[in-house]
């Protein structure tokens, strides 16, 4: 079902994202990736869109494309821990153990920093 052209850019992006997520849930990865592609055209600086496209590409077994999508998500947001984790898994699927391990280590480091920040905020709130 096409998205109406009269929808504003933000509405259009959200419509493509929501439909892409629905296609992901249905495991229709090619259609999900196409919707995330369209959302990226309208919002090219949104790291989460590249991450979600990587999910669809990985689901379809297109690991090279998934690595590119996760890499762009990381370029846009170097603190995007889940993008490192998923790129690590994609590298593993491609047989690139060294890059998989490096991204896995980066993911763990970012997770530790996020957990420490959460603990610090929780402690501050309790006082």
Q: What would the mean pLDDT of 8-34 be, rounded to a whole number?
A: 92
Query: Could you give the percent of the chain with pLDDT greater than 70?
Result: 85
Radius of gyration for the chain, computed over Cα atoms and rounded to the nearest angstrom: 17
Whether this model's pTM surpasses 0.95: no
Give the pLDDT score at 7: 46
Report the interhelical angle of 81-93 vs 47-59 (nearest 10°): 30
CA distance 41 to 20: 14
List the domains of the chain with CATH numbers.
Answer: 9-126 (1.25.40.10)
Of residues 11 and 17, the one with the higher pLDDT is 17
Q: How far apart are the C-alpha atoms of 51 and 44, rounded to whole Å?
A: 12
* 16 has pLDDT over 80: yes
Please give the DSSP secondary-structure letter assigned to residue 95: T
Question: What is the rounded average pLDDT of the residues 28-57?
Answer: 98
Q: How many residues does the chain have?
A: 127
């Amino acid at each position: 079902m096409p998205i109406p052209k009269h929808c504003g850019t933000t509405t259009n992006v959200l419509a493509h994202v929501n439909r892409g997520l629905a296609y992901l849930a249905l495991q229709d990865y090619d259609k999900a990736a196409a919707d995330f592609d369209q959302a990226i055209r309208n919002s090219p600086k949104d790291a989460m869109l590249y991450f979600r496209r990587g999910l669809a590409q990985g689901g379809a077994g297109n690991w090279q494309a998934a690595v590119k999508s996760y890499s762009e998500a990381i370029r846009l947001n170097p603190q995007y821990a889940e993008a490192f984790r998923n790129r690590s898994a994609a590298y593993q699927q491609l047989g690139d153990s060294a890059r998989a391990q490096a991204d896995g280590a980066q993911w763990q480091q970012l997770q530790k920093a996020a957990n420490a920040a959460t603990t610090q905020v929780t402690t501050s709130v309790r006082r």
